[in-house]
Every structure is written in structure tokens, then in C-alpha cells.
Amino acid sequence: MSEKTTTWATSLLTELLTTSDAMSGSLGSSLYVALLKSTGTTAAGSMTNELNTTDNPQYTRVEVARTGSDWSVTGGVGSNDNAITWAQQTSGSSTTVTFAAVCKGSTIATDDALYFTPLTTNRTLSTGVTLEIEAGDLTITES
């Protein structure tokens, strides 16, 4: 089995997260962060555990630009430079969020996740709550 070097992993994530013209044909200038109720997998259909608008009516994926001011990459690990904030929930069910996914598009439950990552702390999304992932708390490791 072959492995990537840290140099290659850093270069790959830098292209993916901070260079909006690289891979622009398939990614565009932004990525979208989704919230999940349980772990994501690489299998098709894995986004069935994404939050939905039936249980959480105000939920949408949050757009994050593919720029060096929105993402940092060091040593094969990428992280968000700014807080990622969802709209305050004004109705709906209480939902525990354990994972986030970095996705190609904004459409909920679409199988377009590029990376899944556990949240540093589980969060509960419920009426009156504005969920936020603080700067540096969404990390993506290319291994």
C-alpha cells in the first residue's frame, strides 16, 4: 500500500479549500458545510443522516468561500478561519448534531460530501438556538 506525503496532502487541501479557480469546473468558488446527526460514510446514500427541513425548518447548508481568508491548511490539515453560523431555529425538533460534512453543493441530502469530520463537541439544535462552529473547530485531515 502506498501513502501520501504531508507535502502532497497539504497541497491537495490547499487547492481544494483555498483556490477557487482550481477544480472550478466541478467545485465552483464555494464549498458548503452540512450538519449530520451521526457519522458520515464514503458509501453512496451516506447523506441520509443530514439534518432536514422537516425536523429543523430553518436548516440549510452554509456556504464557505474557497479562499485563503476562509480556510487555512498546515501539515495536511485544513480548518475554518471564521465561524460558520446557521440561522436561528424558530421551530422544529430538538436534534443532536455530531458530525459536519464539507460538500460540493447546497442541496440538502445530496450525496456530494467530500469530507466528514466529527464536531469537537456535540451540539443540540432546537428552537431558539443559533448553531455555530467556531473558527478552527472544523478540521479536515487528508491522509
**Can you give the pLDDT at residue 83?**
97
pLDDT digits (tens, 9 = 90+) for 50-70: 999 998 999 999 999 999 999
Which of 84, 80, 25 is closest to 60 using CA atoms? 84
Separation of CA 53 from chain center:
18
pTM of the predicted model as reported, rounded to 2 decimal places: 0.91
40-55: average pLDDT: 77
What are the C-alpha distances in Å from 44 to residues 25, 38, 40, 54, 118?
A: 22, 15, 10, 22, 19
pLDDT digits (tens, 9 = 90+) for 97-133: 999 999 999 998 888 888 989 998 999 999 999 999 9
Q: What is the dihedral of CA 69, 16, 102, 90, to 10 degrees?
A: 30
Widest CA span of the chain, in angstroms? Answer: 50
